[in-house]
Chain A
Amino acid sequence: DAKTTQPTSMDCAEGRAANLPCNHSTISGNEYVYWYRQIHSQGPQYIIHGLKNNETNEMASLIITEDRKSSTLILPHATLRDTAVYYCIVRVAENRDDKIIFGKGTRLHILP
């Protein structure tokens, strides 16, 4: 049970902003939202994470709604190298150790 819902696939034109939505309506108050991506034939790569405030780094921005039931990952200027599967993950806390549970993700195609 990945606890998140994402569209199966999306297309975005090169140079445009790619906005990837994620629903996590059952998120708990102490759970973070993480985004990873997996480019073909490579291991998953960390992108960004947040708790309730919007976050930005050199790769992307993360917008979390006020009720924290959904979020959007924004790639501001998508390039062909951003074609990948993007995973939205809510951390599951058990005792002192957390596990990352990957769902199906969104397959993002950047179109030339």
Chain B
Amino acid sequence: DAGVIQSPRHEVTEMGQEVTLRCKPISGHDYLFWYRQTMMRGLELLIYFNNNVPIDDSGMPEDRFSAKMPNASFSTLKIQPSEPRDSAVYFCASSKKRALSTDTQYFGPGTRLTVL
């Protein structure tokens, strides 16, 4: 199993540009999560999906952020327009269908985003 795959691993862009981060979850996993990590705020949950449907997007910072999951094997997190304060490492994670809170999440390697 290749694990959770994220691309690109590093992204450097200029303020105002659109940024698209991509994630391929582990095959057979029903849940997909997007996190953001910064030194100041630590690891924050942005949004998660169950069977491709967004369940909770309360962590999405503002309307500039959007996430989609068109099928079970692919998800995107888009920032438009990007701002320097969006600079962070963005992690994608996936997990199997939940049963009595015993599932675990498997994280990808992350995308390091720098907005100049």
Chain A positions near chain B (C-beta within 8 angstroms): 30-32, 34, 38, 41-46, 49, 87, 91, 93, 96-105
- For residue B38, CB closer than 8 A to chain A, the reply is no
Closest residue of chain A to B55, judged by CB?
A: A97
Point out the residues of chain B lying under 8 angstroms from A103, CB to CB. 42
Point out the residues of chain A lying under 8 angstroms from B106, CB to CB. 46
- For residue B77, CB closer than 8 A to chain A, the reply is no
Say yes or no: B110 contacts A98, CB within 8 Å.
no
Q: Report the bound CA distance from A32 to B110 in whole Å.
A: 26
- For residue B71, CB closer than 8 A to chain A, the reply is no
Q: Is the interface of B mostly helix, strand, loop or mixed?
A: strand
| Contact pick for A49, options B55, B104, B107, B109, CB 8 Å | B104
Say yes or no: A99 contacts B45, CB within 8 Å.
yes
Chain B positions near chain A (C-beta within 8 angstroms): 4, 33, 42-45, 48, 50, 55-56, 91, 93, 98, 101-102, 104-110
Q: Report the bound CA distance from A32 to B44 in whole Å.
A: 20
Residue among A41, A45, A99, A104 with most chain B CB within 10 A? A99
Q: Report the bound CA distance from A99 to B89 in whole Å.
A: 19
Q: Report the bound CA distance from A57 to B58 in whole Å.
A: 34
Say yes or no: B101 contacts A43, CB within 8 Å.
no
Point out the residues of chain B lying under 8 angstroms from A98, CB to CB. 98, 101
Q: Report the bound CA distance from A38 to B110 in whole Å.
A: 12
Say yes or no: B105 contacts A97, CB within 8 Å.
no
> In angstroms, how far is the closest chain B Cβ from the Cβ of A16?
27
